[in-house]
Structure 1
Amino acid sequence: MSIVGRLFALIGFIVVLAGMIGAIYFKDEIRAAQSFDEKAGSVYLDMMKTVLKTGNAAEATVWRVPLTDGVSPKDAEEAMRAVANEYNIKNVGELPLSQQVEVMIGKPYRTLKIYMFCDPLTAVKMLDFSDAFSAYLPCRVAMVEDKQGKVWLYSLNMDLMIHGGTPLPPALKAEAEKVKDTILAIMHRGAAGDF
């Protein structure tokens, strides 16, 4: 056998050995992951791709939609409120952070406002499943003017919450998917100024 053949054989042996050690060392983790939601793998893969592309873990956990040219922040805000009302999701608060920052620093600051939406009955069902879901409540949409002056809408990507672990009970999953679709509608129609 040539030296190249021996080298490839050695590499093959090392890969097989590493796989066996990994399977033994991570057997509990592998077993647990097998019980996850069927979409968990793609959710985590998409997150990892975004982290590798941007170097920013926060970017991997959000959705963002730019305001359409000609749509003002006020137009987007009014459209978001109208869409929330149409989908019967409660607007439970707004935080005009840029106004607060302006008061504190004594000069204008770029647009930064947080809108909070909630379906209270779905929220309590999520809490009954896991108190950790309280960190996702209420659903937030942030309006952020970037440093170049473009305005964006951001929200947490709910796929991790819905698909990232063991499957939610079917009825709860359906409700969570409905809230996800509602938040995406609020973002996309708000960004387009679509009442």
Structure 2
Amino acid sequence: MKYRIAALGAVVVLSVSFNANAQQKPAANPYLANVPVSAGPMILPISPAGRGTRPYEMSRPVPPEEKEAMMKKIMPMMGMVKSMDVKDVMNLMAIKYPVKKGLTFDDVKQSMELSANKLNFKKVGESPMWKDIQAVLGDMDAPRMEVYHYCDIAAGREILKYAPEAIVYLPCRIAIMEDADKNLWVLTLDWNTSWLDSISGKMGAPDQLMKYAADIRDKMDVIMKAAAAGDL
């Protein structure tokens, strides 16, 4: 009889223990402890009805208060990267290559122009900013920096047909700049659009436009690498 009572007691203990464990919450994932809660889907406050649909048709101007509202929606997402400041953002938006040691500023410029000519990438202007800094501001210690303007007219036309506001980004620019340590760099705005591949419908960008964008990006990369290496 005592064995039956002992066995029954063991069953009760095991049952209570099992139920208690079953009711316990699963352990929290320690790797997710510092991950912020999602702010939810970000809906931009720009009415689709105000978008241009015909070639070269401007979309409606976005009032300052709407832009401010949009930025307030973006801010929760930006809060996830608290260690990043504006200087970091500018760096992320640029593509830059260090120039090979021993090359002069004019060597780099010559290589850039020769490479652009080979690719039929037309130079349409240049801005020697360092000369204006010296002449206007009297700052003779500023490093040498020049910005060169290039254009693929066929690509430019397609971009402007789709979004005429894009003219503010044209023509394409490549800069040569001396830094604080007298090192030379070749830089441009990052035209890489591959991130659109991860978005359904590529945000509405036409296939032909994407091809032109990729072609421009590739040509500019070839030109910049040739300039940085001093290729002739």
TM over 0.5: same fold? yes
Residue 73 of structure 1 corresponds to which residue in structure 2?
A: 105
The CA distance in 2 between the partners of 1:144 and 1:124, in whole Å, is 30
For residues 143-194 of structure 1, what are the alpha-carbon distances to aligned partners after superposition, in whole Å with 9 as ceiling and x for unaligned? Answer: 1111111111110000249838515322221121111111111110001111
Residue 173 of structure 1 corresponds to which residue in structure 2?
A: 210
Counterpart of 2:41, as a letter, is F
Q: What's the Cα RMSD here? A: 3.3
Q: Does 1:189 align with 2:230?
A: no
For residues 19-56 of structure 1, what are the alpha-carbon distances to aligned partners after superposition, in whole Å with 9 as ceiling and x for unaligned? Answer: 7xx5xx52868xxxxxxxxxxxxxxxxxx99x849962
Q: 1:55 to 1:27 in 2, by over 3 A?
A: closer
Q: Does 1:86 align with 2:118?
A: yes
Pick the structure with greater CA Rg. 2
After TM superposition, give the deviation of residue 72 of structure 1 in Å. Answer: 1.1
Counterpart of 2:111, as a letter, is A
TM, length-normalised to structure 1: 0.72
Q: Which runs of 5 or more structure 2 residues have no equivalent in the other structure? A: 1-19, 31-36, 45-79
Q: Does 1:97 align with 2:112?
A: no
Q: For 2:178, which of 131, 139, 145 is the aligned residue?
A: 145
More helix by share: 1
Bigger relative contact order (CA 8 A; separation at least 6): 1
Q: Which runs of 5 or more structure 1 residues have no equivalent in the other structure? A: 12-17, 30-47
The CA distance in 1 between the partners of 2:147 and 2:89, in whole Å, is 20
The answer to whether the 8 Å contact 1:162/1:173 transfers is no
The answer to whether the 8 Å contact 1:162/1:177 transfers is no
The CA distance in 1 between the partners of 2:186 and 2:210, in whole Å, is 25
Residue 125 of structure 1 corresponds to which residue in structure 2?
A: 158
Residue 26 of structure 1 corresponds to which residue in structure 2?
A: 41
Aligned residue for 2:96, secondary structure, equals strand
TM, length-normalised to structure 2: 0.61
After TM superposition, give the deviation of residue 109 of structure 1 in Å. Answer: 2.3
The CA distance in 2 between the partners of 1:126 and 1:27, in whole Å, is 26
The answer to whether the 8 Å contact 2:193/2:213 transfers is no
The answer to whether the 8 Å contact 1:78/1:190 transfers is yes
Q: Does 1:116 align with 2:149?
A: yes
Over the matched positions of the two proteins, sequence identity in percent amounts to: 23
